[in-house]
Structure 1
Amino acid sequence: MKFIGKRGRLVIALTLGLLLQGCASPTTKSSAGGPDAKAAYQQHVNLAKQYIGLKNRELARIHLSKAERFQNAVDKARLSELYNGYALLYQSELEMELAEKYYRKALVSDATDSVARYNFSSFLYNQERFEEALEQIVLVSEDLDYRRRPQAFYITGLVQIRLGDAVGALKSFERATQLAAQFALPYLEIAKIYFDQKNDELAKQSVLHYIGLAGETAEGLWLLVQTELRMGNSQAVLENGTKLKILFPGSDEVVKYEGLLK
């Protein structure tokens, strides 16, 4: 019996820092070069990221265009931020060819830009280009200075699962939890792997750890129901199944649970 569930599409979590209030353009007076131009470039790029995060594509496009006017004032490596911004914008508009073009431009500008590479790997994952996604995300996970390394290992594990490498995925998910013990999602994936391996005690332990961090979710409760069922704990199956029906009525997991009872 394998885990009956889903592994959804990745959502790129943009870490944009403190959002600036209002929609005002930068007030820095800038020439074609020099520190003012560099500051204007960075300010427009940051505003574009903010508006992409707010799903305001029109203002994001305006600020990316303004940043582009100052691109000659900055080092080539810093252009990766501009290209990454365009890639995210085009991806949000489902212009996938343009998005990929700009992700690649970002990485040509700065091969050490782990933010752009992380976003590109997520993009490739959502395109179901798993081998390419793995190649990119492994490089991100090796960047010791990248603060989203736990998420990089988590994505690595998701890709490895899709490529049929459960052993490698388990190691990646465990590495994610070692780097960020409060990061809930890897524990759920670890539980799924143990469940598929028929290691029910560790599956139950891992899913309970996940629920302890993330709270009760439809996917977590459904996995717990399946685990308790195989362990022969009929009362626990009923209790968790009832929670599932009350908390998540109409969910796919409830439909599966009701099918289990027939």
Structure 2
Amino acid sequence: MSGIRTALWTMVMLLVVGCTSSPGRQNSAEVSPEKALEAYTQLGLQYLRVGDLASAKDALQRAVEIDDEYAGTYNALGLTFQIEQEYKLAEQNFRRAVSLEPETASFHNNFGAFLYAQGRYSEACTELERATEDPFYIQRAQSFENLGRCFRMIQRPDAAQHAFERTLRLSPNRPVALLELTAIHLEAGRLQEARQYFDMFSQLIDSRQVEHSAQSLWLGIQLARQGGSSTRGATFALLLKNLFPQSAEFANYKESLQ
């Protein structure tokens, strides 16, 4: 970790020092507060990515000392405290970030994901919906997918379906959206639509882009039963038993045999 820490501090020092060149001041240098603020925030995020939470908080606190109204720092602190399971502090910092920059989609997405993890689904849906509003947000497909899962948790299948469909329009090969749409249509008795989405997921399996999950195998079993394909269903059941014996899906499968 010491080598990583040294490299990261070298990076931040290069960023915070803004060199000014003129004919009479070739070697002069001055620290730009704006660059220092951004650099310390990015340094904190880099420490967070390598799991050095203490150094992350130290760097982020330095950023707060430079400017206590920079939303990006509070978003990073929210992520840090979430990992530390300091949930009250995490929420305080996420709320501070979205209040300072209410139009920044990534902050709403991160806060929404935090609320979802806390089981506060209605609040999470509100934040995630805000994240999807920015058409230029690079992670917009992920936000729609998160929103769809959130709507599923509060029993809004139509809204969830719409969110997952938006996900696939932005990124056609997202396995979570494909499986969730399979489940939504299967639960509604729309077998043809369910099979279409499951077949799209199966193509990802065949091309080794993804692997089966407990959810995908249980969905495959149910669709095989509906289609009269006992051999395929048995294959899925064996995989479910061997790969995910402790899963809720395997428990549902065993219950369905009784």
Distance (whole Å) between structure 1 residues aligned to residue 49 and residue 153 of structure 2: 28
Please tell me the residue identity of whatever aligns with 1:22: I
TM-score (norm 1): 0.81
Q: Which of residues 106, 111, 116 in structure 1 aligns to 2:97?
A: 106
Q: How many angstroms does 1:97 deviate by?
A: 1.5
Alignment of 1:4-83 (within 5 A): 22-24=4-6, 25=9, 26-28=12-14, 36-71=32-67, 76=69, 79-83=70-74
Contact 2:132 / 2:140 at 8 angstroms: preserved in 1? yes
Q: How many angstroms does 1:261 deviate by?
A: 4.1
Distance (whole Å) between structure 1 residues aligned to residue 202 and residue 85 of structure 2: 34
CA-atom RMSD in angstroms: 2.3
Q: Deviations over 1:139-184 (max 9, x none)?
A: 2111011111111111221121122211111111001000111222
Distance (whole Å) between structure 2 residues aligned to residue 178 and residue 68 of structure 1: 39
Structure of higher CA gyration radius? 2
Q: Does 1:245 align with 2:241?
A: yes
Q: Deviations over 1:1-33 (max 9, x none)?
A: xxxxxxxxxxxxxxxxxxxx82121224659xx
Aligned to 1:217: 213
Please tell me the residue identity of whatever aligns with 1:220: S
Q: How many angstroms does 1:252 deviate by?
A: 4.2
TM-score (norm 2): 0.82
Aligned to 1:135: 126
SS of alignment partner, residue 172 of structure 2: coil
Contact 1:177 / 1:186 at 8 angstroms: preserved in 2? yes
* Residues matched between the structures, number: 235
Please tell me the residue identity of whatever aligns with 2:65: R
Please tell me the residue identity of whatever aligns with 2:165: E
Residues 252 and 205 of structure 1, relative CA distance in 2, 3 Å threshold: same
Distance (whole Å) between structure 2 residues aligned to residue 54 and residue 185 of structure 1: 27
Contact 2:71 / 2:98 at 8 angstroms: preserved in 1? yes
Q: How many angstroms does 1:61 deviate by?
A: 1.1
Q: Deviations over 1:57-77 (max 9, x none)?
A: 1121121122223227xxx4x
Please tell me the residue identity of whatever aligns with 1:241: A
Aligned to 1:189: 180
Please tell me the residue identity of whatever aligns with 1:23: R
Deviates more, 1:110-119 or 1:126-135: 126-135
Distance (whole Å) between structure 2 residues aligned to residue 202 and residue 106 of structure 1: 41
Contact 1:45 / 1:82 at 8 angstroms: preserved in 2? yes
Distance (whole Å) between structure 2 residues aligned to residue 184 and residue 64 of structure 1: 35
Residues 167 and 255 of structure 1, relative CA distance in 2, 3 Å threshold: closer
Give the number of the structure with larger relative contact order, counting CA–CA contacts within 8 Å between residues 6 or more apart: 1
Aligned to 1:122: 113
Aligned to 2:222: 226
Q: Report percent identity of matched pairs.
A: 26
Contact 1:84 / 1:116 at 8 angstroms: preserved in 2? yes
Aligned to 1:180: 171
Aligned to 2:207: none
Contact 2:75 / 2:94 at 8 angstroms: preserved in 1? yes
Distance (whole Å) between structure 2 residues aligned to residue 254 and residue 244 of structure 1: 6
Distance (whole Å) between structure 1 residues aligned to residue 158 and residue 248 of structure 2: 28
